[in-house]
């Protein structure tokens, strides 16, 4: 029933909202006009907006895109895939290959091993002037392979049987077996032995004692073109040029990376001039960026980059319902991912069927995809013993309802919408999905790392070209209290078939034979669903017109890794 006068008051409110909307559009237009005419010559410092604040800045502990982005300014890996997806030396003189003789298979008393020789740049040094040497390589290996160190990806260190220091700058890796990625040391993240050794005296406490936690602005922790000058926890990180950097001098005397975890506020800060750009790696969700691009293309350069960014839902197999793969399959059949991509992302995001992207040469296009099939999903739930008896929520034979919590990062507009779509889709199947969101530093640094999520956890992985997911799927990479939460297999997934496949892929040097193994891997992934694939993301880099040299990569190494190439137009 409508009370007298309600219609008039409703019309008044609508009119008031319409006037407010017109004022908002006018304000946005004025802000965009101001941004378009801002003089480039006034830009000495650069302020970058991101949507997460790093939980910590240790290069090997914790897995978080915001941290990777910040450290891209201050550090360099031994090797890296460049924006063209070619493997390059970053902290080595020559990339070792079998062809140039710096990598070779050698017979030993117990069989064979692969020996790979790297030489550090002679001028390479830490930000406090201390030379970067093989002592740092040996110390990093010691930390990485220790079961209590808490490093996120211990696999890269543990596959190395020994490291032989030839001199202060040259070292030889002794690999127990030849692998196709023998010269990829992107994740062998060097640590300054002269600063960190004391903190590692008690490995179990290293996570909390490291200088990267207790003395984060120490210049000796950096060896890139910039160093951390100041950290305002939860707010911003100020970077200044590293005077010990031996490469091309960076253009900006100061870079401030400002975290604004609500993406609507992040966009507003950009328009108001609070930030100069938004990083694609940790910035606006795609749907918000598309809308922004349509409104602001004259004021900003918006670059969309597709790549190896795998949005997915981790499952907790300790949850009795999710331990049954029929339930996992039902959930995936019950989510309309195709409509998500079409309606929210203008078909820009390919739906995923595993963690292998359609952009990869190893992608198996002939495997049957999971399409939206709610009837099949319902029959799978019936078969698994979850039936609709009364009401709408399915229950098992004990009368327990099928209730699942779906966790994700707070403040991400797209993930919040996707959460709601998933909730509605699964409600139609009789699954009660409860939504939860946490700040990124809590969700990633605590909930995921310590495997605290009770049901489902939605987030993304960055991958590198032909990245083997040992860290996320091999049983040896499960984080536990006894290994100080080392590893990235947050689901606790353990399957001897998957372990064996990962190991066979790594050992296979013949690309055609490896393609067959990758196809087998994707088939096993689709059958067992250790995680629920959603789509491969694309990132939007929102840049001022005067900023040049930023090259998105589309893989796990951020554009900030080449920050010395960034410049103001005309300088």
Average pLDDT, integer, range 196-221: 96
pLDDT at 571: 65
Average pLDDT, integer, range 283-309: 90
> Is 10 exposed, middle or buried (CB count within 10 Å of its CB: 0-12, 13-18, 19+)?
exposed
Block residue for tokens 């008690």: 202
The pTM score is: 0.82
Q: Is 555 in contact with 184 (CB distance < 8 Å)?
A: no
- What is the secondary structure of 252-309 as a DSSP string? -S-EEEEE--SHHHHHHHHHHTS-SEE-STTS--HHHHHHHHHHHTTTEEEEEEEEEE
d(CA 509, CA 39): 54
Q: How many helices (H) and strands (E) does the chain have?
A: 18, 20
pLDDT tier at 248 (50, 70, 90 boundaries)?
very high
Domains in the chain (CATH in brackets) are 79-215 (3.90.76.10), 309-537 (3.10.105.10)
Which conformational region is residue 399 in: left (phi greater than 0), alpha (psi within -120 to 50 degrees), or beta?
A: left
What pLDDT, in 10s, does the model give residues 92-134? 999 999 999 999 999 887 778 999 999 999 999 999 999 999 9
Does residue 312 carry a pLDDT above 90? yes
From residue 214, give the alpha-carbon distance in Å to each of 155, 210, 226, 231, 323.
26, 6, 19, 12, 40
What pLDDT, in 10s, does the model give residues 524-555? 999 999 999 999 988 999 999 999 999 999 99
Output the 3-class SS for 174-227. Answer: EECCCCCCCCCCCCCCCCCHHHHCHHHCCHHHHHHHCHHHHCCCCHHHCCCCEE
Q: Is 526 in contact with 354 (CB distance < 8 Å)?
A: yes
pLDDT tier at 43 (50, 70, 90 boundaries)?
low
Average pLDDT, integer, range 71-99: 97
Average pLDDT, integer, range 23-49: 56
Query: pLDDT over 90 for what percent of the chain?
Result: 77
């Amino acid at each position: 029933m409508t009370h007298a006068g309600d219609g008039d008051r409703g019309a008044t409110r609508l009119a008031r909202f319409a006037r407010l909307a017109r004022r908002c559009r006018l304000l946005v237009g004025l802000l965009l006009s101001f941004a378009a005419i801002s003089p480039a010559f006034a830009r000495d410092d650069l302020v970058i907006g991101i949507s997460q604040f790093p939980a910590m800045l240790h290069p090997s502990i914790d897995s978080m895109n915001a941290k990777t982005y910040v450290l891209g300014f201050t550090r360099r890996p031994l090797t890296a895939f460049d924006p063209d997806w070619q493997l390059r030396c970053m902290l080595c003189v020559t990339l070792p290959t079998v062809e140039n003789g710096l990598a070779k298979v050698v017979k030993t008393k117990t069989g064979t091993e692969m020996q790979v020789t790297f030489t550090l740049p002679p001028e390479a040094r830490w930000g406090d002037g201390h030379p970067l040497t093989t002592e740092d390589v040996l110390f990093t290996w010691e930390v990485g392979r220790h079961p209590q160190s808490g490093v996120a990806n211990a696999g890269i260190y543990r596959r190395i049987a020994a490291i032989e220091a030839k001199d202060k700058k040259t070292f030889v890796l002794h690999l127990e077996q030849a692998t196709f990625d023998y010269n990829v040391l992107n994740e062998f993240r060097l640590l300054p032995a002269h600063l960190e050794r004391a903190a590692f005296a008690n490995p179990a406490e290293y996570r909390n004692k490291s200088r990267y936690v207790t003395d984060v602005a120490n210049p000796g922790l950096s060896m890139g073109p910039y160093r951390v000058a100041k950290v305002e926890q939860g707010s911003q990180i100020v970077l200044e040029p590293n005077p010990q950097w031996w490469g091309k001098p960076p253009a900006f005397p100061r870079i401030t990376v400002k975290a604004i975890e609500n993406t609507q506020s992040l966009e507003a800060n950009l328009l108001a001039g609070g930030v100069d750009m938004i990083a694609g790696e940790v910035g606006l969700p795609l749907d918000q960026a598309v809308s922004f691009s349509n409104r602001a293309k004259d004021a900003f350069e918006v670059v969309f980059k597709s790549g190896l960014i795998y949005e997915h839902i981790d499952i907790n197999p300790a949850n009795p319902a999710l331990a049954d793969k029929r339930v996992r399959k039902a959930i995936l059949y019950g989510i309309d991912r195709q409509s998500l991509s079409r309606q929210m992302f203008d078909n820009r995001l390919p739906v995923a069927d595993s963690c292998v992207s359609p952009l990869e040469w190893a992608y198996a296009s002939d495997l049957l995809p999971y399409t939206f099939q709610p009837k099949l999903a319902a029959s799978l739930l019936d078969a698994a013993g979850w039936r609709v008896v009364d009401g709408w929520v399915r229950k098992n034979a004990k009368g327990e309802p099928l209730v699942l919590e779906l966790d994700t990062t707070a403040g991400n507009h797209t993930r919040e919408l996707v959460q709601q779509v998933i909730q509605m889709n699964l409600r139609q199947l009789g699954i009660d999905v409860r939504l939860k969101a946490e700040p990124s530093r809590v969700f990633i640094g605590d909930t995921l790392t310590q495997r605290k999520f009770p049901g489902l956890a939605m987030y993304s992985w960055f991958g590198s070209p032909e990245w083997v997911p040992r860290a996320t799927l091999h049983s040896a990479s499960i984080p536990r209290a006894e290994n100080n939460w080392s590893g990235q297999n947050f689901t606790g997934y353990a399957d001897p078939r998957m372990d064996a496949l990962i190991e066979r892929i790594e050992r296979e040097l013949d690309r055609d034979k490896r393609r067959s193994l990758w196809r087998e891997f994707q088939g096993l992934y689709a059958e067992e669903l250790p995680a629920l694939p959603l789509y491969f993301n694309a990132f939007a880099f929102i840049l001022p017109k005067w900023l040049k040299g930023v090259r998105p990569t589309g893989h796990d190494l951020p554009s900030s890794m080449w920050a010395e190439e960034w410049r103001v137009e005309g300088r």
